[in-house]
Amino acid sequence: MSILNNTRELQRIDAAHHLHPFTNTRELNGRGARIITSAKGVYLNDADGNRILDGMSGLWCVNVGHGRKEIVSAVANQMEQLTFYNTFFNTTHPPVIELSRLLSEVTPPQFNYFHFTGSGSDSNDTIFRMARYYWELEGKPEKSIFISRRGAYHGSTVVAASFGGFNSMHKQGGLPIDGIYHAPSPDWWSNGGDLSPEEFGRKVAAQTLALIDGIGAHRIAAMIGEPIMGAGGVIIPPKTYWPIIAQGLKERDILFISDEVICGFGRTGQWFGCEFMGTEPDFMTMAKGITSGYVPMGAVAVSDRVAKVLIEKGDEFTHGYTYSGHPAACAASIATIGIMRSEKLVEHVREDVGPYLKEKWLTLADHPMVGEAVMEGLIGAFQFTSNKSARAGFPEAAKIGFTAREHSFQNGLVMRAVGDRMVIAPPLTLTRAEADDLVEKAARVTDLTYAYAKKQGLMA
Ligand SMILES: *Cc1c(COP(=O)(O)O)cnc(C)c1O
């Protein structure tokens, strides 16, 4: 075990044998990966003995905080009882039954059916096939096109990356696949110009419906969107945006998919982000918070409208994953939902720590280098700018976001950088004292990054 206690040696072995996701391996290996060894609540410990506030809930997933014994023992007990059995051929098992029932309770009323997967990406691939199959069963096979958005993140499999709106991902692997169109992003900071956020929201919603009408609603199966874009930089759309789009989709008989992988399970202060935005989707993509990240799992919530057609008119739906409804993952999810209910975490986010953190977080925008700061529930961002009134960015080579992320780690806070936008999504168990710690550290990071930018002559 002794070499495994040596940080440099661990980094050497990691560099020699581990190809990381979303990572330039050459750059990483030059620097050495940061090694996280343990975690409790909202704090991480690394191999060099540092204690770091996990402002990202792992990767937007550890909603109930790290190291919860209730989940660990629920998973262990389940694995002693039944480690694995499949849900394919006329079989089922108690944990997947219990979880399906629980999900029908916590999701909006139109959802009473759930299809289980291994991840958010798998879930979106599942919805792609299920939505097309639905329209075939309805006698409208020409309804096969999907609308997504620039700047959206929906996962990394072929369909999910095609749904996503990142050119950098499309470039690798010849994506997007046919039949997926991207509407503009509701990113007011970058694209809003002189419009108020409300006007801008109406404008982008109208552009989206115009794109749909240009293609022809009779050819469109569904539109997918995150209530709040996560990996795209925590883009919180203006309040006007989603209601107009949701209404427009309804009028045109186009299915609506709410990708709730980040916004679901309490992140916005509602159980699901669509409830926060006031929309009524036909599908929900779920993963991450569904097990609080303790065991991998994804799921698709299927509305009664769609499920009824699949059940009454459909044949076998020839789709599924070996680990669909894995007993250990179901146990982790049941325990997670149990904690969320008994600790009233959704209410805690909506009425207590969410508004408390938001008030402090928004003051970050008083800093000369911060253009805007936004937050809803426990998901937020702030944007660096070289000139506030002109909403000017920095040259990419200046690596402002990257520099801030490094300062953040060194000052004991995990924030993620999306370009020059810093994002956070801390565990929903965050206390007021921990929220104070978070904002204090974020403020120190803005000061350090400002000093760097001034020294480099980057401020206007
Ligand atoms: C992370 C994420 C996904 C993909 O989930 P994986 O479990 O990584 O496949 C899909 N949609 C959104 C909104 C996400 O944030």
Pairing of strands 298-303, 255-259: unpaired
Substitution candidate for ligand 1 out of 262, 291, 423 with most atoms within 8 A of CB: 262
Question: How far apart are the C-alpha atoms of 27 and 35, rounded to whole Å?
Answer: 16
Cβ of residue 148 lying under 6 Å from some atom of ligand 1: no
Beta carbon of 121 within 6 Å of any ligand 1 atom: yes
Model confidence at 1, pLDDT cuts 50, 70, 90, reads: very low
pLDDT tens digits along 109-158? 999 999 999 999 999 999 999 999 999 999 999 999 999 999 999 999 99
Cα distance between residue 109 and residue 275, in whole Å: 11
Predicted confidence (pLDDT) per residue in 340-379, tens digit: 999 999 999 999 999 999 999 999 999 999 999 999 999 9
Phi, psi (degrees; rounded to nearest 5) at 233: 120, 20
Task: Give, in order, the Cα–Cα distances in Å from 110 to each of 97, 210, 281, 308.
Answer: 19, 28, 8, 11
CA angle in degrees (0–180, nearest 5) for 261-334-328: 90
- pLDDT digit string (tens) for 376-434? 999 999 999 999 999 999 999 999 999 999 999 999 999 999 999 999 999 999 999 99
SS3 state at 60: helix
| Opening angle at CA 359, ends 344 and 376, nearest 5 | 55
With a 6 Å cutoff on the Cβ, whether 125 touches ligand 1 is: no
% of the chain at pLDDT higher than 70: 99
Task: Answer yes or no: is pLDDT of 107 > 80.
Answer: yes
For residues 123 and 325, give the distance between their C-alpha atoms in angstroms, rounded to a whole number.
Answer: 12
Portions of the chain given CATH number 3.90.1150.10: 34-64+344-455
Q: Give the single-character DSSP code of 24.
A: -
Mean pLDDT computed over 295-302: 98
Residue 225: strand, helix, or coil: strand
Does the global pTM surpass 0.95?
A: yes
If one counts every other C-beta atom within 10 angstroms of the C-beta of residue 64, the result is 27
154 lines ligand 1 (CB under 6 A): yes
Convert the pLDDT of each residue in 277-287 to its tens digit: 999 999 999 99
Residue ranges of the chain that CATH labels 3.40.640.10: 69-342
Cβ of 294 closer than 6 Å to ligand 1, yes or no, is no
| CA 427 vs CA 44, 266, 380, 437: distances in Å | 12, 10, 13, 14
Alpha carbon distance 210, 208 (integer Å)? 5
Identify whether the C-beta of residue 307 lies closer than 8 Å to the C-beta of residue 85: no
Give 194-228 pLDDT, tens digit per residue.
999 999 999 999 999 999 999 999 999 999 999 99
CA distance 98 to 84: 16
For residue 316, with 0-12 CB atoms within 10 Å meaning exposed, 13-18 middle and 19 or more buried, which class applies? Answer: exposed
Q: Is 155 in the pocket of ligand 1 (CB under 6 A)?
A: yes
Q: Mean pLDDT in the chain?
A: 97
Structural domain 34-64+344-455, CATH architecture:
Alpha-Beta Complex (3.90)
Give yes or no for residue 47 CB within 6 A of ligand 1.
Answer: no
Q: Is 169 in the pocket of ligand 1 (CB under 6 A)?
A: no
Q: Which ranges in 180-326 belong to alpha helices (H)? A: 188-191, 197-215, 241-251, 273-277, 304-313
Backbone angles phi, psi at 284, to 5 degrees: -125, 135
| φ/ψ bin of 288: left (φ > 0), alpha (ψ from -120 to 50), beta (otherwise) | left
Nearest atom, ligand 1, residue 230 CA: 15
Q: How far apart are CA 115 and CA 123, in angstroms?
A: 8
HSE, side-chain direction, 13 A CA sphere, residue 374 = 22
User: What pLDDT is stored for residue 210 in this prediction?
Assistant: 98
Query: What's the pLDDT band for 460 if we cut at 50, 70, 90?
Result: confident
Residue 15 has pLDDT above 80, yes or no: yes
Burial class for 3, CB neighbours closer than 10 Å (0-12, 13-18, 19+): exposed
Is residue 285 within 8 Å of 124, Cβ to Cβ?
yes
Res 441: pLDDT: 98
**pLDDT at residue 63, as a whole number:** 98
Query: At 3, is the pLDDT very low, low, confident or very high (cuts 50, 70, 90)?
Result: low
Nearest CA to ligand 1 atom 5: 120
DSSP SS3 for 131: helix
Q: How confident is the model at residue 5 (pLDDT cuts 50, 70, 90)?
A: low
Determine what percent of the chain is predicted with pLDDT higher than 90: 98
Residues composing the chain: 460
The whole-number pLDDT of residue 4 equals 57
**How far apart are alpha carbons 319 and 113 in whole angstroms?**
16
Instruction: List the one residue out of 434, 450, 426, 448 whose CA is nearest residue 375.
Output: 426
Task: Return the H-helix or E-strand segment holding 403.
Answer: helix 400-410
pLDDT at residue 70 in the model: 98
> What topology is assigned to 69-342 in CATH?
Aspartate Aminotransferase; domain 2 (3.40.640)
